Structure 1
Amino acid sequence: MNPRISFVAAPLLVLAYGVIRILDGLDGSRGPGLAWTTGHLAFMAALVLFVQIFWRMRAMAGRNALATVTAALGTVGVATLLAQFGIDIVVGFMAADHAAMGPLFDQVRSVPGVRLAVYDGGPFLFYLAQLGLVVQLAARRRIKAWTPVLVLLDLALPFADKDLIPVGAVLLLVSFLPLARRADEGTARPAAALA
């Protein structure tokens, strides 16, 4: 897939997830059902695209050790989020209604190591890597200094209120558009030319 498409499609899929999530909650509860599953699948598709985005940003940053480690940690974070959202979908299929989802989630989280790896720790690698790679690109003057600020806002908004995910996705799209235009640079030139 063309890397330019990933830089645009990933934020749009996160936007779709955020909007579907809001619509799913209009009846007072989220999941299970079509909206729950569709929204989660949209976010999972975005996560798959983020793997390509992380490695493309690594190339744009010069393929150095810091960029490589950051992209690798981001990929691990993607894997943990894919596991989390996969669990959400399975629980949605298994539960008869929203109330039945809670005990199922409790069973999953009680498995040793799952809470830390899939919920409390692992996913943060995705968010930290996203910010870390953008900061590296800004430090190398590959992108504007305001880009990490927009990415940070995108990452922070859901912590304030998850209904702000669509707003954060728009900010992410704005911050990724310059990256989409330069996405071929990491492969078109040798790493030394990126300095």
Structure 2
Amino acid sequence: MNTTRISFIAAPALMGAYGVVRLIDRTSRLGWTVGHLLMLAGLFLFALVIVGLRQTAPGRTASVFAGLGLIGLAASIAQIGIDIVVGLLARDAADKEHMFHQIQQVPGVTPVVYTVVPILFYVGLLGLTVTAAVVTARVVPWWTPVLVLAGTVAAAASLDFIPAAGILYVLALTAPAVRHAQRAPHAIA
């Protein structure tokens, strides 16, 4: 089975799983760590999703969106990595808050890792699905970018909606996963 095709489903499923763990146990060190490790794995798999969408929707526009998505993804991975390390090192919630405050006081860290650059992941993902649905011979259904947008809005509205966002992304990316499988059936698993 193709790793990229699996990633189209596994990446958003892991994101949703992070959201579920977060809702169940957001205070213990174990819950924090397990949840963030699930999200980290999902983010790494989203790199394969972006590359797979880029292959499905070739062209300069898709390349730009793929680049933006990968840059945003790198920032998101850095953010989750910091969260994991701080969660493991902090003695308690107050210490965790203090450590985050110290990290965010470093010039450039907040916009690059927490606020501005991570948004590029969602811009890239949405742009790639729009390109694949509208510009590039409609290689994915029209509802793919609609569901990606709905998932993004849900997650942005509240972190408590991340499980719903994960489900919406799974539904959105099922058709591109099938399309990718049809275009590259002999890819390395």
- How big is the shift at 1:80? 0.5
- How big is the shift at 1:186? 5.0
Could you say which residue in structure 2 is the equivalent of 1:52? 48
- How big is the shift at 1:65? 1.2
Could you say which residue in structure 2 is the equivalent of 1:87? 82
Could you say which residue in structure 2 is the equivalent of 1:10? 11
Alignment TM-score, normalising by the size of structure 2: 0.91
Could you say which residue in structure 2 is the equivalent of 1:103? 98
Whether the 8 Å CA contact 2:43–2:73 is kept in 1: the answer is: yes
Q: After superposition, what is the alpha-carbon deviation per residue over 1:99-125, rounded to whole angstroms, capped at 9, x for unaligned?
A: 221111010001111111101111011
Could you say which residue in structure 2 is the equivalent of 1:192? none
Matching residue within 177, 180, 184 for 1:183: 180
Q: Distance in 2 between matches of 1:116 and 1:74?
A: 16
> Where in structure 2 are there 5+ consecutive unaligned residues?
none
Could you say which residue in structure 2 is the equivalent of 1:191? none
Q: Which amino acid aligns with 2:77?
A: L
Pairing of 1:1-195 with structure 2 (within 5 A): 2-25=3-26, 30-31=27-28, 33-62=29-58, 64-139=59-134, 140=136, 141-187=138-184
Paired residue total = 182
Q: Distance in 2 between matches of 1:119 and 1:103?
A: 16
- How big is the shift at 1:185? 4.8
Q: Which amino acid aligns with 2:50?
A: F
Q: After superposition, what is the alpha-carbon deviation per residue over 1:123-179, rounded to whole angstroms, capped at 9, x for unaligned?
A: 011011010100001103111111111110100112222111101111111111111
Q: How many percent of aligned residue pairs carry the same amino acid?
A: 42
Q: Which amino acid aligns with 1:56?
A: G
Q: Distance in 1 between matches of 2:70 and 2:184?
A: 20
Alignment TM-score, normalising by the size of structure 1: 0.89
Whether the 8 Å CA contact 1:150–1:172 is kept in 2: the answer is: yes
Whether the 8 Å CA contact 2:140–2:179 is kept in 1: the answer is: no
Q: Which amino acid aligns with 2:148?
A: V
> Where in structure 1 are there 5+ consecutive unaligned residues?
189-195
